[in-house]
Amino acid sequence: MIDIKFLRENPDVVKENIKKKFQDVKLPLVDEVIALDAENRKTQQEADNLRSQKNKIAKQIGGLMGQIKKAEAAGNTVEAEEKKKEAERLKIQSVADEARLAELEAKEPELQTRIREIMYKIPNIIDASVPVGRDDSENVEIEKFGEPVVPAFEIPHHADILKSISGLDKESAGRTSGDGFYYLMGDAARLHSAMLSYARDFMIDKGFIYCIPPFMIRSDVVNGVMSFAEMEAMMYKIEGEDLFLIGTSEHSMIGKFKGEIVKEDSLPITMTSYSPCFRKEVGSHGLEERGLYRVHQFEKQEMVVLCKPEESMDWYNKMWSYTVEFFRSLDVPVRTLECCSGDLADLKVKSCDVEAWSPRQQKYFEVGSCSTLGDAQARRLGIRTKGEKGTYFVHTLNNTVLATPRGLIAVLENNLNEDGSISIPKALQPYMGGKEKIVPTQK
């Protein structure tokens, strides 16, 4: 959510930003919210004047009552009657003012709610460096890390690789839970856990505080961290309760600071969090439908940063580079892809994806995403800090260290040998009891 003062003073900038995101249907919202804001400020001013007038009249009536007593005591009935009439006139005015104030006080929250609803729909101002494009097909490759290799032998689908090591059971999961769920078994499950443990320690070594957050959050936190459209597409709601299953631990981690004024000298706050994640989406795209690329449930190691506004872009560049470093340490070639304007969620200022090389498909696929959201989430949730320059909203950033089983797919494909065995990257071997290879158990 952008600052209403900024929108009021820069409506053309906000409209141009909406056009860059190809959301022209939202253009009328700018003029609508400006009109509502003007009405709201006028309402507040009139209400404040009436409150001031109310206090003034109360004092005037109090003074007149004293004067009436003095006049009556002195036998000055004419003066006493005049003062009584003046006091009565003020009382009548006070009653009228009270009625009008009640109308205004009822109107204020209605206007503020409507303004907030519209402001939630107007996208955040994107960074000037973001390429303009309609959708993810127009995202721009930034840089490649590691040489993408296509081996001389055929790389099977990752579901077949997992089957060869007795590592995947989707049939049973279909009976217990339905489509989009899975059982990981044996060395596959162990490798999956090893990657998460390594991701945790990798980020701790970078100086991040490890955290396990709540896996459910309330609607006010959901509304603070994402758009309504995203929530509808992603999140599962707990029936009969004001709770949602998280789609990423970023939501819980940012929500942790809801309504707080954090100490400026504590910034930046750098955290890495583990959680299971739950999403409505399910694979339905060709060959990936039978595998683990898009599922209802997965696990994730995330990084979250709260910082001063002037530090946010530096942290953005550090954060995505950590994900690149992480996957390169697992012998997985990756590239970074700049998200274009039309592919950015409404709260994001700038975002890039980290994509891993798939030797089977001979193309890259997404394994992580890094975003800076400016002060949008902090503004919605009331997360501020106080320093020499006064009180201001912090900036928030998030980035995927590892989302798996998608990350597991990248490791399996890029470390598969011609004989069907899987070489375990050196970084993961300590988490696998020193094991160097996973050998097929079936053909």
Domains and CATH numbers, the chain: 4-121 (1.10.287.40), 136-438 (3.30.930.10)
In the predicted model, is pLDDT for residue 63 greater than 90?
no
In the predicted model, is pLDDT for residue 443 greater than 80?
no
Residue-level pLDDT at 283: 41
Q: What is the percent of the chain with per-residue pLDDT over 90, rounded to a whole number? A: 81
Residue-level pLDDT at 284: 43
* β-bridge partners, 335: 144, 355
HEC string for 319-330: HHHHHHHHHHCC
Q: Which amino acid type is present at position 76?
A: N
Distance from C-alpha of 338 to C-alpha of 316, rounded to nearest angstrom: 12
**Contact by Cβ (8 Å): 279, 296:** yes
Give the total residue count for the chain. Answer: 443
Distance from C-alpha of 173 to C-alpha of 159, rounded to nearest angstrom: 14
Q: Where are the alpha helices (DSSP H) in 74-214?
A: 77-121, 158-164, 170-176, 186-205
Report the chain's terminal Cα–Cα distance, integer Å.
54
Q: What is the percent of the chain with per-residue pLDDT over 70, rounded to a whole number? A: 98
Give the pLDDT band of residue 280 (cuts 50, 70, 90).
Answer: confident
Residue 172 has which token pair?
A: 């049973």
Residue-level pLDDT at 94: 87
**Contact by Cβ (8 Å): 392, 309:** yes
Mean pLDDT of the chain: 93
Distance from C-alpha of 256 to C-alpha of 239, rounded to nearest angstrom: 23
What is the rounded average pLDDT of the residues 315-319?
A: 98
What is the rounded average pLDDT of the residues 67-95?
A: 84
User: Burial code of 319-355, b = ≥16 C-beta within 10 A, e = fewer?
Assistant: bbebbbebbeebbbbbbbbbbbbbbbbbbbbbbbbbb
Residue-level pLDDT at 102: 92
Give the pLDDT band of residue 180 (cuts 50, 70, 90).
Answer: confident
The more confident residue out of 254 and 95 is: 254
Residue-level pLDDT at 64: 83
Consecutive H or E run containing 44: helix 27-73
Give the pLDDT band of residue 69 (cuts 50, 70, 90).
Answer: confident
What is the rounded average pLDDT of the residues 397-426?
A: 97
In the predicted model, is pLDDT for residue 369 greater than 50?
yes
Mind listing the pLDDT tens digit for each residue in 283-315? 444 334 678 988 999 999 999 999 999 999 999
Residue-level pLDDT at 290: 76
Collect all residues with Cβ–Cβ distance below 8 Å to 144 and sequence separation of at least 6. 333, 334, 335
Give the pLDDT band of residue 65 (cuts 50, 70, 90).
Answer: confident
Give whole-number Cα distances, 147 to 331, 332, 353, 414, in Å. Answer: 10, 9, 18, 11
Mind listing the pLDDT tens digit for each residue in 13-23? 999 999 999 99
Rounded to 5°, the CA angle 394-12-226 comes to 40
Backbone angles phi, psi at 98, to 5 degrees: -60, -40
Residue-level pLDDT at 90: 87
Look at residue 259 and give its three-state secondary structure: coil
Mind listing the pLDDT tens digit for each residue in 197-225? 999 999 999 999 999 999 999 999 999 99
Give the pLDDT band of residue 227 (cuts 50, 70, 90).
Answer: confident
